[in-house]
Amino acid sequence: MIFEKEDLTEEKLKAYSRRGVYVIPDKMTPDYLSRFGFKPDVVIDVGVSNGSDFLYSLFPATKTVLVDPLPDFEAKIKTKFGNKYDFDFYHCAAGREPGHATLRIQSDNASKSTLANPTRMQGQNTGSEVTVDVRTLDSISEKYSGAIGLKIDTEGFEMEVLGGAVETLKRTEFVLAEVSIKERYIGGYRFSDVVLFMRDNGFEIIDMLNPVWRVHMFWDCLFVKKDSPLFASRAI
């Protein structure tokens, strides 16, 4: 069931709880994410697809860097958002090393297109393949000063993106990443690979933004610096 915020009085919440029904917030919203108090100087969105308005509207005056290899992505974003936000566009993929890669465009949902090298699992339909440029996130972020907020949604290519972002992570305030928990691609990374990489680079998970009690192929994980005061038991 979906409830409007104004309908959820404390009395109603207690009544639902007594019936074994618990209400959880929609965490992919500016309202929810604002509680963390993030203040990046630049936001980088890797794997843009149709855009992440919930993230852009959280920092409406902040420079936002969009990185995506999908054909025509820049035109689609300009059509959708116009001049609402301060965007810089990079029509390329982010990876561990610069070069070229094959983008497998899914025929029924372009937002699920992937650069993941392993063979696709059964049931994922590649409509076409195109060769795209690959740059490291470090080479892109070096053009921007200050603290970074980073979002990654690259359909199984997350470890490659992170591998080319070691310097970027040193001045990153938070990372919101779609991390696979099941075998979406043959030979793909495991969930623990990402967690350990992030730990080695000074980050821990502070929250899951999609409901963890549902059966998912991935979790939207919010990472912050391991020494963040947000980890105090009553910080948020």
Residue 103, class by beta-carbon neighbours within 10 Å (0-12 exposed, 13-18 middle, 19+ buried)? buried
User: Which CATH number applies to 24-92+137-231?
Assistant: 3.40.50.150
pLDDT in tens, 50-105: 899 999 999 999 999 999 998 888 999 999 999 999 999 999 999 999 999 888 77
What tens digit of pLDDT does each residue of 128-144 get?
A: 788 889 999 999 999 99
Q: Report the Cα–Cα distance between both ends of the chain, in Å, rounded.
A: 25
Q: What is the pLDDT of residues 26-59, one digit of tens each?
A: 888 999 999 999 999 999 999 998 899 999 999 9
Tell me the CB-side half-sphere exposure of residue 172, using CA atoms within 13 A. 31
Burial (CB < 10 A; 0-12, 13-18, 19+), residue 156, is buried
Number of CB atoms found within 10 A of residue 228's CB: 17
Which residues are CB-contacts of 171 (< 8 A; sequence separation ≥ 6)?
146, 147, 148
Quick one: average pLDDT of 196-214?
89
* Distance from C-alpha of 135 to C-alpha of 89, rounded to nearest angstrom: 13
Residue 181 and residue 82: Cα distance in Å, rounded?
35
CB 22 within 8 A of CB 16: yes
Q: Is residue 121 pLDDT above 60, yes or no?
A: no
**Which residues have CB under 8 Å from 192's CB, separation 6+?**
none
Predicted local confidence at residue 57, as pLDDT:
96
- Average pLDDT value for the chain: 85
- Torsional sign, CA 220, 199, 65, 128: negative
Cβ burial 6-35 (10 Å sphere, 16+ → b, else e): eeeeeeeeeeeeeeeeeeeeebeeeeebee
Across-strand partners of 209?
none
Place of tokens 């054909």: 71
